[in-house]
A = this chain, B = another copy of it.
Amino acid sequence: MKNNHSKLDFDRFSRIGLEEAIYCEFKTGEQVNEILKQFLNKNKHCLLTRLSEEKLNQIDSLIKKKVEYCSISNTAFFNYPDYTLSQDKKVAVLCAGTSDLSVAYEAIRTLSYYGKNSLNLFDIGVSGLWRLTEKLEQIQTTSVVIAIAGMEAALPGGLISQPIIAVPTSVGYGVSKGGHTALNALLASCSSGITVVNIDNGYGAACAALRILSTEP
Protein backbone atom coordinates (compact mmCIF):
# COMPACT_ATOMS: atom_id res chain seq x y z
CA MET A 1 0.00 0.00 0.00
CA LYS A 2 2.90 2.30 0.74
CA ASN A 3 5.20 1.77 -2.22
CA ASN A 4 5.37 4.17 -5.12
CA HIS A 5 4.39 7.11 -2.98
CA SER A 6 7.27 9.22 -4.19
CA LYS A 7 7.59 9.99 -7.87
CA LEU A 8 10.82 11.86 -8.25
CA ASP A 9 11.78 14.47 -10.77
CA PHE A 10 15.04 13.37 -12.33
CA ASP A 11 14.87 15.93 -15.14
CA ARG A 12 14.72 19.14 -13.21
CA PHE A 13 18.46 19.72 -13.42
CA SER A 14 18.45 19.94 -17.18
CA ARG A 15 15.70 22.51 -17.08
CA ILE A 16 16.89 24.95 -14.44
CA GLY A 17 20.31 23.70 -13.40
CA LEU A 18 19.04 22.80 -9.92
CA GLU A 19 18.15 19.28 -8.87
CA GLU A 20 15.42 18.41 -6.47
CA ALA A 21 16.57 18.21 -2.85
CA ILE A 22 14.88 15.69 -0.56
CA TYR A 23 13.29 17.65 2.28
CA CYS A 24 13.09 15.11 5.13
CA GLU A 25 11.45 16.91 8.05
CA PHE A 26 7.95 15.53 7.55
CA LYS A 27 8.98 12.22 6.03
CA THR A 28 9.44 9.07 8.09
CA GLY A 29 12.80 7.33 8.11
CA GLU A 30 11.13 4.57 6.11
CA GLN A 31 9.97 7.03 3.44
CA VAL A 32 13.46 8.53 3.15
CA ASN A 33 14.92 5.07 2.80
CA GLU A 34 12.55 4.22 -0.03
CA ILE A 35 13.36 7.43 -1.90
CA LEU A 36 17.10 6.77 -1.64
CA LYS A 37 16.56 3.28 -3.01
CA GLN A 38 15.03 4.79 -6.13
CA PHE A 39 18.05 7.07 -6.53
CA LEU A 40 20.41 4.16 -6.08
CA ASN A 41 18.55 2.08 -8.63
CA LYS A 42 18.88 4.84 -11.21
CA ASN A 43 22.46 5.44 -9.98
CA LYS A 44 21.63 9.08 -9.31
CA HIS A 45 22.88 11.23 -6.47
CA CYS A 46 20.89 13.70 -4.41
CA LEU A 47 21.02 16.24 -1.60
CA LEU A 48 18.96 15.69 1.56
CA THR A 49 17.98 18.49 3.92
CA ARG A 50 16.58 18.45 7.47
CA LEU A 51 17.58 14.85 7.94
CA SER A 52 17.83 14.25 11.68
CA GLU A 53 20.41 11.83 13.01
CA GLU A 54 17.55 9.72 14.30
CA LYS A 55 16.10 9.25 10.80
CA LEU A 56 19.58 8.76 9.37
CA ASN A 57 19.92 5.78 11.66
CA GLN A 58 16.69 4.24 10.36
CA ILE A 59 18.16 3.93 6.87
CA ASP A 60 19.30 0.51 5.63
CA SER A 61 22.98 0.08 6.29
CA LEU A 62 23.82 -0.59 2.64
CA ILE A 63 22.20 2.64 1.60
CA LYS A 64 23.54 4.54 4.59
CA LYS A 65 27.08 3.71 3.50
CA LYS A 66 26.58 6.00 0.54
CA VAL A 67 25.40 8.88 2.70
CA GLU A 68 27.84 11.67 3.59
CA TYR A 69 26.24 13.41 6.55
CA CYS A 70 26.82 16.83 8.20
CA SER A 71 25.41 16.98 11.70
CA ILE A 72 25.64 20.77 12.08
CA SER A 73 23.26 21.36 9.16
CA ASN A 74 21.41 18.02 9.09
CA THR A 75 22.16 17.73 5.39
CA ALA A 76 23.42 14.73 3.50
CA PHE A 77 24.90 13.97 0.07
CA PHE A 78 23.72 10.60 -1.25
CA ASN A 79 25.60 8.47 -3.74
CA TYR A 80 27.76 11.46 -4.54
CA PRO A 81 30.92 11.10 -6.65
CA ASP A 82 34.26 12.43 -5.46
CA TYR A 83 34.27 16.12 -6.04
CA THR A 84 36.54 19.13 -6.03
CA LEU A 85 35.19 22.51 -5.00
CA SER A 86 35.86 25.54 -7.16
CA GLN A 87 39.15 27.30 -6.40
CA ASP A 88 37.56 30.73 -6.21
CA LYS A 89 34.94 31.71 -3.66
CA LYS A 90 32.15 33.52 -5.42
CA VAL A 91 29.65 33.38 -2.56
CA ALA A 92 30.16 34.89 0.91
CA VAL A 93 28.17 33.27 3.73
CA LEU A 94 27.98 35.57 6.76
CA CYS A 95 26.46 34.93 10.15
CA ALA A 96 26.39 36.79 13.41
CA GLY A 97 26.90 34.04 15.95
CA THR A 98 27.23 30.37 16.71
CA SER A 99 23.46 30.12 17.12
CA ASP A 100 22.96 30.58 13.38
CA LEU A 101 25.53 27.97 12.30
CA SER A 102 23.10 25.23 11.29
CA VAL A 103 21.39 27.51 8.79
CA ALA A 104 24.73 28.82 7.53
CA TYR A 105 25.95 25.27 6.95
CA GLU A 106 22.77 24.30 5.10
CA ALA A 107 23.66 27.04 2.62
CA ILE A 108 27.36 26.11 2.51
CA ARG A 109 26.61 22.42 1.97
CA THR A 110 24.14 23.18 -0.81
CA LEU A 111 26.77 25.31 -2.53
CA SER A 112 29.31 22.50 -2.10
CA TYR A 113 26.89 20.04 -3.65
CA TYR A 114 27.00 22.16 -6.80
CA GLY A 115 30.80 22.47 -6.62
CA LYS A 116 30.92 26.00 -5.28
CA ASN A 117 33.41 26.95 -2.59
CA SER A 118 32.31 29.78 -0.29
CA LEU A 119 33.87 32.45 1.90
CA ASN A 120 32.47 31.70 5.34
CA LEU A 121 32.52 34.44 7.98
CA PHE A 122 30.90 33.48 11.28
CA ASP A 123 30.21 35.52 14.39
CA ILE A 124 31.05 38.88 12.84
CA GLY A 125 31.23 40.96 15.97
CA VAL A 126 28.85 40.73 18.86
CA SER A 127 25.93 42.92 18.16
CA GLY A 128 24.96 41.84 14.71
CA LEU A 129 25.92 42.11 11.12
CA TRP A 130 25.93 45.88 11.03
CA ARG A 131 29.51 45.91 12.32
CA LEU A 132 31.16 43.93 9.54
CA THR A 133 33.20 46.88 8.29
CA GLU A 134 36.55 45.24 8.95
CA LYS A 135 35.71 42.31 6.70
CA LEU A 136 34.34 44.48 3.91
CA GLU A 137 37.26 44.19 1.56
CA GLN A 138 37.29 40.42 1.79
CA ILE A 139 33.54 40.27 1.16
CA GLN A 140 33.90 42.47 -1.88
CA THR A 141 35.93 39.76 -3.63
CA THR A 142 32.76 37.64 -3.97
CA SER A 143 29.83 37.91 -6.40
CA VAL A 144 26.92 37.15 -4.07
CA VAL A 145 26.40 37.53 -0.32
CA ILE A 146 24.22 35.22 1.78
CA ALA A 147 23.60 36.82 5.17
CA ILE A 148 22.22 34.59 7.92
CA ALA A 149 20.55 36.97 10.35
CA GLY A 150 19.22 35.93 13.71
CA MET A 151 18.17 37.98 16.68
CA GLU A 152 19.48 41.34 15.54
CA ALA A 153 18.53 41.36 11.92
CA ALA A 154 19.79 44.64 10.50
CA LEU A 155 21.63 44.39 7.25
CA PRO A 156 23.99 47.01 5.92
CA GLY A 157 22.70 47.11 2.35
CA GLY A 158 24.50 50.39 1.99
CA LEU A 159 27.95 48.92 2.58
CA ILE A 160 27.90 46.03 0.14
CA SER A 161 27.32 46.41 -3.59
CA GLN A 162 26.71 42.76 -4.54
CA PRO A 163 23.36 40.95 -4.54
CA ILE A 164 22.48 40.16 -0.90
CA ILE A 165 20.23 37.25 0.03
CA ALA A 166 19.12 37.43 3.66
CA VAL A 167 18.03 34.38 5.67
CA PRO A 168 16.17 35.14 8.90
CA THR A 169 16.64 32.44 11.55
CA SER A 170 14.28 31.10 14.17
CA VAL A 171 16.63 31.50 17.14
CA GLY A 172 15.64 33.94 19.85
CA TYR A 173 13.04 34.28 22.60
CA GLY A 174 10.11 36.54 23.36
CA VAL A 175 9.25 38.57 20.29
CA SER A 176 12.12 36.96 18.38
CA LYS A 177 10.82 33.41 18.87
CA GLY A 178 10.26 31.58 15.60
CA GLY A 179 12.08 34.12 13.45
CA HIS A 180 9.19 36.36 12.42
CA THR A 181 10.76 39.51 13.87
CA ALA A 182 13.98 38.82 11.97
CA LEU A 183 11.99 38.08 8.80
CA ASN A 184 10.01 41.31 9.02
CA ALA A 185 13.04 43.42 9.95
CA LEU A 186 14.83 42.07 6.88
CA LEU A 187 11.83 42.67 4.59
CA ALA A 188 11.79 46.24 5.89
CA SER A 189 15.37 46.61 4.61
CA CYS A 190 14.45 45.63 1.05
CA SER A 191 14.55 49.19 -0.27
CA SER A 192 18.27 48.95 -0.55
CA GLY A 193 18.02 45.94 -2.83
CA ILE A 194 18.28 43.17 -0.27
CA THR A 195 16.11 40.11 -0.93
CA VAL A 196 14.83 37.61 1.60
CA VAL A 197 13.99 33.90 1.78
CA ASN A 198 11.88 31.91 4.26
CA ILE A 199 12.97 31.58 7.88
CA ASP A 200 15.88 29.10 8.32
CA ASN A 201 15.94 28.41 4.58
CA GLY A 202 19.68 28.16 4.02
CA TYR A 203 19.01 25.75 1.16
CA GLY A 204 16.80 28.24 -0.70
CA ALA A 205 19.32 31.03 -0.23
CA ALA A 206 22.03 28.85 -1.77
CA CYS A 207 19.74 28.02 -4.71
CA ALA A 208 19.10 31.73 -5.24
CA ALA A 209 22.84 32.37 -5.16
CA LEU A 210 23.38 29.58 -7.71
CA ARG A 211 20.78 31.16 -10.00
CA ILE A 212 22.70 34.45 -9.81
CA LEU A 213 26.05 32.79 -10.47
CA SER A 214 24.55 31.07 -13.50
CA THR A 215 23.86 34.50 -15.07
CA GLU A 216 27.58 35.20 -15.07
CA PRO A 217 29.44 34.34 -18.25
Q: A residues within 8 Å of B by Cβ?
A: 2, 4-9, 12, 15-18, 20-21, 23, 25-27, 31, 35, 50, 72, 97-99, 101, 122-128, 130-131, 143-144, 150-154, 156-165, 168, 170-185, 187-201, 203-205, 207-208, 210-212, 214-217
Q: Is the CB of B185 within 8 A of A154?
A: yes
Instruction: Check B163–A211 contact: CB distance below 8 A.
Output: yes
Complex Cα distance A151/B185, Å? 8
A4-B122, A6-B122, A126-B158 known, 11 other contacts, Cβ within 8 Å:
A5-B122, A16-B161, A18-B193, A21-B191, A163-B215, A174-B179, A175-B188, A184-B184, A194-B197, A194-B204, A195-B205
Q: Establish whether residues A200 and B173, one from each chain, have CB atoms under 8 Å apart when the complex forms.
A: yes
Contact A26–B171 (Cβ < 8 Å) = yes
Q: Decide if B130 touches A156 in the complex (CB within 8 Å).
A: yes
Number of copies: 8
Q: Closest chain B residue to A49 by CB distance?
A: B191
Q: Assess the B215–A199 pair: CB atoms within 8 A.
A: no
Given A27-B99, A127-B156, A188-B151, is A204 in contact with B199 using a C-beta cutoff of 8 Å? no
Q: How many angstroms from the CA of A99 to the CA of B201 in the assembled complex?
A: 18
CA distance A177 to B150 in the complex (A): 18
Task: Tell whether A174 pairs with B158 under 8 Å between CB atoms, given A165-B195, A184-B184.
Answer: no
- Indicate which residue in B153, B211, B216 contacts A217 across the interface (CB closer than 8 Å): B216
Contact of B211 with A18 in the complex, beta carbons under 8 Å: no
Known: A5-B98, A125-B9, A161-B15. A153 touches B204 (CB 8 A): no
Contact B174–A201 (Cβ < 8 Å) = yes
Would you call A174 and B165 a contact (CB within 8 A)? Answer: no
Q: A216–B216 contact, CB under 8 A?
A: yes
Contact indicator B198/A173 (Cβ below 8 Å): yes
Inter-chain CA distance A195–B189, complex, in Å, is 14
